[in-house]
């Protein structure tokens, strides 16, 4: 069960691999609401350094609504490898959160998400928090149901010449629950480097990712935890 849970939480995400930020504003009786929808095609679905599609392609989509107060809700979906998720071939994520800015260079985000796998493994519930400051992102994700896992990460993004973006990421997954003293001891690190650019009306991203799992890969195919180079193309509507 722990390896299946690790697989589920490793898959869990509130963001697509290459998510172009684009929104349509609507004035309503309760204030301005931004609506955005994104479709993504990727050569793989990588999350926390692990392939959720056994190294094959992924089709993903998201739909988000954000109120001017900072409250937002959304949904995200992708295909996954059914063999690794007890017959579930689709991941559907639902989330609600609140984000705000303290200064021009410091902002924060708090959210709750549930990750579901129809006809597959049980859903996973998670609390998320992050702070963006001066190009750095510091964050934590705590999955608490059906079992617990803590994910902490740091990222840094900056612009290169020719409107090219470069993002660095390092994360640590720990299945030993620091809140209730769970005896689980599985722990691993993942890292990634992503180059991105908007071109021809599309968002393009090329990512190199890897983990230190080695032979401890929780998936049926150990190649799911090998280093990977992934290309994703996104379009927002």
What's the pTM?
0.89
Max mean pLDDT among 24-38, 174-188, 214-228 falls in 24-38
186 contacts 159 by C-beta, under 8 angstroms: no
What pLDDT was estimated at residue 145?
86
User: For residue 112, is pLDDT > 80?
Assistant: yes
Greater pLDDT, 4 or 134: 134
Residue 121, CB-side half-sphere exposure with 13 Å CA sphere: 26
- pLDDT value of position 19: 45
Q: Which of 6-10, 99-103, 133-137 has the lowest mean pLDDT?
A: 6-10
Mean pLDDT of 155-175: 95
Chain-centroid distance of CA 150 in Å reads 14
Q: How far apart are CA 153 and CA 210, in angstroms?
A: 14
Residue 225 falls in which region: left (phi positive, over 0), alpha (psi -120 to 50) or beta: alpha
Q: How confident is the model at residue 147 (pLDDT cuts 50, 70, 90)?
A: confident
Higher pLDDT, 6 or 109: 109
- Which domains occur in the chain, in start order? 2-236 (2.40.160.40)
Using the predicted structure, report yes or no on whether residue 17 has a pLDDT greater than 80: no
């Amino acid at each position: 069960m722990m390896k299946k849970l690790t697989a589920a939480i490793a898959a869990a995400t509130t963001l697509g691999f290459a998510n172009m930020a684009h929104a349509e504003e609507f004035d309503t009786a309760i204030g301005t609401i931004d609506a955005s929808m994104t479709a993504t095609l990727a050569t793989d679905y990588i999350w926390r350094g692990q392939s959720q599609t056994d190294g094959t392609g992924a089709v993903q989509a998201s739909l988000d609504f954000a109120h001017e107060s900072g409250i937002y809700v959304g949904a995200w979906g992708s295909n996954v490898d059914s063999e690794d998720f007890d017959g579930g071939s689709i991941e559907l994520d639902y989330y609600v959160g609140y984000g705000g800015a303290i200064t021009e260079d410091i902002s924060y985000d708090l959210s709750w998400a549930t990750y579901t796998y129809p006809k597959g493994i049980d859903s996973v519930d998670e609390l998320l928090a992050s702070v963006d400051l001066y190009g750095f992102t510091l964050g934590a994700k705590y999955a608490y149901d059906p079992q617990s896992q803590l994910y902490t990460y740091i990222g840094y993004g900056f612009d290169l010449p020719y409107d090219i973006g470069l993002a660095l990421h390092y994360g640590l997954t720990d299945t030993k629950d620091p809140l209730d003293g769970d005896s689980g001891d599985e722990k691993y690190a993942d890292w990634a480097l992503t180059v991105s650019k908007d071109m021809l009306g599309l968002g393009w991203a090329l990512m190199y990712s890897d983990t230190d799992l080695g032979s401890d890969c929780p998936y049926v195919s150990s190649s799911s935890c090998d280093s990977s180079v992934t290309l994703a193309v996104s379009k927002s509507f």
